[in-house]
Structure formats: C-alpha cells, structure tokens
A and B are shown apart, each in its own frame.
Chain A
Amino acid sequence: EAGVAQSPRYKIIEKRQSVAFWCNPISGHATLYWYQQILGQGPKLLIQFQNNGVVDDSQLPKDRFSAERLKGVDSTLKIQPAKLEDSAVYLCASTVKWASDEQFFGPGTRLTVL
C-alpha cells in the first residue's frame, strides 16, 4: 500500500514570497490533516479536511495560509506571503475517517524562510 506522498521535500524561499505544498493521501482515506512542526516542538494541527469539507481550521493563520482539497483527494497548502517564523516542517497525514483512527504521516516538507 502506498503511503502519504508530499512534495517538495525541501523548499527555501525569501520572506514575503509565496510557497505551496502538495499532499496525496492514502487511497480511500477520507480525512486529511496538515500540521506544522517547528524545530524542537510537537506537530501543531493547522487544518483538518473530511472529504472536501473543512472540519477544523481554528489554528490556521488565515491571513497568510490557505488550504484546499478539491475533489476530496489530494490537497494543497499555500503560504502567501511567508514570514521568517513559518520556517518549519509541514506534515500531511491521513486517516480512514477520524483522528481516533491511526494517522499515517507523510515525510514532510521542510520549509526555510530567509
């Protein structure tokens, strides 16, 4: 079974630039999550989708971050414009349905903002 795919694996940008990350969850998984993991911290949930609807985005900085999951399959997370404090690993995860199910994590995208 293929795992959660993410691209790119690494990205370096300057502050105020834009960046987008892509995630393809495990086939058949209804729920998709984006997390931000700052160095030395645990992952922080940014947004949770179930199919193509948003379940929770209370911790997403909506003035600069946006995410979509068209057709309920793959998803894109965008930052526009980026700030220095956005430097982190962005993790995508998916579950069959609920967060109480096992979450399968992708390898992450490491973002460095200069």
Chain B
Amino acid sequence: AQSVTQPDIHITVSEGASLELRCNYSYGATPYLFWYVQSPGQGLQLLLKYFSGDTLVQGIKGFEAEFKRSQSSFNLRKPSVHWSDAAEYFCAVANNAGNMLTFGGGTRLMVKP
C-alpha cells in the first residue's frame, strides 16, 4: 500500500519569500503524484499533478513541483509567496491503476506581511 509523509506540519514565510513544502511518498512503482490546496472554508483544489515525463511540473497560481525518484520526493515550490497563499497543502499519491488516492497529513502555510 502506498503512503505519503509531509514532514512539516506548519510553515511560516514572509510575503515575497520563496517557499518549499516537502513531500515523501512510498510506493513500489511509479506513482501518480498530486498537490492539493485547501483554503479556509473552501474545498480542496488541485494545484498540479505528475504522471510521467518531465520531472518538473508546473501548476496553477505559480506553483511547481519536482519529482525525484531517487529520493521518493515530490516537493512543492513557489518563488514568491503571496498573502493569499496561506492555506493547508496536501500531497497525495494514487497507485498506477489510477485508484486509491492517499493523502499526506498536510502542511499549514502561514504568510507574514
């Protein structure tokens, strides 16, 4: 069975600073990997996903993530954080049958003015 670990429960960054959220997964084959964002009072929204090919994927709202097979990681990055990015971020993995989406515990991002 696959699993996802997000080591950082909370992260605080200053507005305009760069951001990296960590995600480590466990799965025997090449997984499908996702990042979702959950803003207060709103539903989960897909930021980006990786299936195959280029290991650097671009998403919405200026986010990107890099798949590193050797490290079993799929870290999310943004070069300059905006106050509106404050939210909870979830990394998730699906098996290679396209089923069983498993979420990590989430990282809560706070943005200082």
Contact = CB atoms under 8 A, between A and B. Distances in A.
Contacts of B49: 100, 102
A36 to B, nearest CB: 11
Contact of B100 (A45, A93, A105): A45
A42 B37 CA distance: 11
Nearest to A92: B43
Interface string B45-69: 1100101000000000000000000
A101 B32 CA distance: 10
Contact of B43 (A48, A55, A102, A105): A105
Interface string A76-112: 0000000000000001010001111111011110000
A30 B46 CA distance: 19
B102 interface: yes
A14 interface: no
Interface residues of A, number: 25
> By DSSP majority rule, is chain A's interface helix, strand, loop, or mixed?
loop
B25 interface: no
Which of A3, A33, A48, A105 has the most chain B CB atoms inside 10 A of its CB?
A105
Contacts of B104: 42
B90 A55 contact: no
A99 B94 contact: yes
A106 B45 CA distance: 10
16 contacts: A3-B43, A4-B43, A40-B106, A42-B92, A42-B103, A42-B104, A43-B44, A45-B102, A98-B94, A99-B32, A99-B98, A100-B49, A100-B98, A103-B46, A103-B101, A106-B43
Interface of A: 3-4, 33, 40-45, 48, 55-56, 91, 93, 97-103, 105-108
Interface of B: 4, 32, 42-46, 49, 51, 90, 92, 94, 97-106
